[in-house]
Amino acid sequence: MDPSWTGGVTRMAVLTGAGISTDSGIPDYRGPEGLWTRNPTLVKAFTYGSFMADAEVRAALWRSYADHPAWTAEPNTAHRALATLERGGPAVRILTQNVDGLHQRAGSSPRKVLELHGSIRETVCTGCGARTPTRTGGARTPTRTGGACTPARTGGDPGDRRCPDCGGVLKPAVVMFGEHLDAATVGLAERIASHSDLMLVIGSSLQVEPVASLCATAVNGGARLVIVNRDPTPYDDLATAVLREPIATAVPRICTALTTVPA
């Protein structure tokens, strides 16, 4: 690895995609063993219009999340290396497309992790907007407790789940196809990218907008762009460096370099 681009980094944005979590046993979406590659019908379940219109589609999505490996997955060396870098390197903000919560479990400060696509660990009512933690366990519809929903559960066949307060459809607090990302979250991500010295992309195909365009935002702001990904991305031509080696070895090595190279 050419260490020249690791120097002079005081502010760093890290954009992570599904590829960083595959070593934790969580499959990506589009790869050879990806979730949608193995079961293309799930794409419909991840589409907001279909989810809202069809109770069977909703049940299929909740079943897929009941068995989601994120509930038992452990952070891997890449997650842990980024958490360690936060404590001994440049100022780090993590912009993640993942919904698994592994960055926080690895030790990254929750306030420094921006979950661009939401989290499966929360359930949101599409009617009143109430949010509750999602817990694994026996399936049941949340019940009212003190005027609020009790935490939603996954497991079994939950069927058509409704908010006990307003009757609205409950959904995982993740951004589906056909939904817009939260404007405030996108705005914050753009500010972080534009004020960074280095944008490090890990395990993202960079095919989903507007998140992928954060790379251009960073470069236009003067940042170096470094991409660690198995396959080519649409933003490789903008990058200072593109690394095809395994994430589990590349990321700890990059983090060590950023910790030891003087700013």
Annotated binding residue 128: yes
The pLDDT value recorded for residue 141 is: 37
195 has catalytic annotation? no
Q: Is 215 annotated to bind ligand?
A: no
CATH class label, 3-26+75-117+181-260: alpha beta
Q: Can you list the alpha helix ranges (DSSP code H) found in 89-176? A: 102-106
C-alpha R_g of the chain: 19
Rounded CA separation 231/237 (Å): 13
pLDDT of 169 reads 94
68, 79, 103, 117: the active-site residue: 117
**Residue 20 carries which DSSP code?**
G
Could you report the per-residue pLDDT of 213-243, keeping only the tens digit for each? 999 999 999 999 999 999 999 999 999 999 9
Per-residue pLDDT of the chain (263 residues; tens, 9 = 90+): 566 788 889 999 999 999 999 999 998 766 555 565 566 666 777 899 999 999 998 988 888 888 788 899 999 999 999 999 999 889 999 999 999 999 999 999 999 999 999 999 999 999 999 999 986 543 333 333 333 444 454 444 456 788 989 999 999 999 998 999 999 999 999 999 999 999 999 999 999 999 999 999 999 999 999 999 999 999 999 999 999 999 999 999 999 999 865 54
- Report domain extents, the chain: 3-26+75-117+181-260, 35-67+122-174
CA distance 235 to 233: 5
User: Taking a C-beta distance cutoff of 8 angstroms, is the pair 101, 70 a contact?
Assistant: yes
- Report the alpha-carbon distance of residue 107 to residue 162 in Å, rounded: 34
Q: What integer pLDDT is reported at residue 18 of this predicted model?
A: 93
